[in-house]
Amino acid sequence: MVRTTIPLASSKSESNRALIIDALTGFRCDLQNLSTARDTQTMIRLLKSEDATADVLDAGTTMRFLTAYFSVTGQQKTMTGTPRMCERPIGILVDALRSLGADITYLKNEGYPPLQIKGFSPSAESTNRLSIRGDVSSQYISALVMIAPLLPNGLTLELTGAIGSRPYIEMTLEQMRYFGADVRADWETKTITVASSPYVPKPYAIESDWSGASYWYSVAALATDERAEINLLGLKARSLQGDSAIVEIMRSLGVKSTFTDTGVRLTKIPTQQSLTCDFTDCPDLAQTVAVCAAVKGVVLRMTGIESLKIKETDRVAALQAELQKIGAELVEIETNHLYEVHQLAIAPAGPATIDTYDDHRMAMAFAPVAMQQEIIIDEPGVVAKSYPSFWEDMARVTTVKFINE
């Protein structure tokens, strides 16, 4: 019988934002329950380091947040990372920071890391009003608004086009308000206004990670035991995290959520035959939901996954390759907009070996497949990026085989 309690990892999204705000107060906040994820530990290490080079490894959030932080605090740093990190665009953020007074140059390819940050000097030519695309990366927007209270005239940010991952922006704004920032957001006019006013140091406790919880929803959905019950600790019914959307998405895939004093209890309910999901506001859930739907034979129509192409890997291409190995496919119905997951007529024989592409979410999204069929994960250590204890926790409910550990 599948019946277990999982002490989830803390949210690295909340942790990374809290760490930047804490640094902007002069490290005077009391941050509790910080994530043990590699991304967060990298952030902690680099915030405390006096080295001239800041190597973020493969941490995109860390690269973007620290580029803004080092700029506004006038630090001279070389920002770099893994080869894949140096293929991920950062030009939109750099252009915005330059407009605010940052001196930043590219050391190799225009628009991409590595970068040289040489200082920050707002002048008469600097601005306190910027226009930035809202459909590329919410992390650019979060990076800019978090440093805005330290700007001499604050900042008004106008978002153009569609706004992707809006819950992550709202998470940033709520944390800023908690620490005393004067922030106003008008979503009708797509404008965020931040006054020039220092943060107020306060204690802050990090919630458990809803992204990490999503894999346990998939475990519950794929469990063959109809009496399966999984208790996830440290989650809140009213969360700042956009990935809490998994509650409603997984209801269609056969999982009921019941909130308790300690977190949320997952139990099984009937599954729908088809599901349509817009992942614009929660792109990190896309892989988990796609794999779960594929195994359950649910036809899944997906929109809002364009940003997956510039993540740790091209996650759309990776899903298309790996879903084939478990007897399903991801088909592009409308170019760069609408995709569909469905089962193949003939399933492959033998256990599937899943390539992870140096992407933590590929490993964890496919792991729950082991609830129904043998599966082998290549390079399982990638989970350290966000959920270091994932395989230990998975061992409570099923066996997953590994290669290249």
Cβ 158 vs Cβ 3: under 8 Å: no
Cβ 226 vs Cβ 53: under 8 Å: no
Cβ 404 vs Cβ 378: under 8 Å: yes
How are the residues of the chain apportioned to helix, strand and coil, as percentages rounded to the nearest 5? 40, 25, 40
CA gap 99, 96 in Å, rounded = 5
Cβ 282 vs Cβ 242: under 8 Å: yes
Residue 255: name the closest of 277, 230, 286 by CA: 230
Most distant CA atoms of the chain, gap in Å:
68
Contacts of 189 (CB under 8 A, 6+ apart): none
What six digits make up the tokens of 271?
Answer: 């599954």
| Burial track 133-145 (b if 16+ CB lie within 10 A, e otherwise) | ebbbbbbbbbbbb
- Residues with catalytic function: 284
Pairing label, strands 30-32, 203-205: parallel
Beta-carbon neighbour count of residue 155 at 10 Å?
22
CA gap 120, 113 in Å, rounded = 19
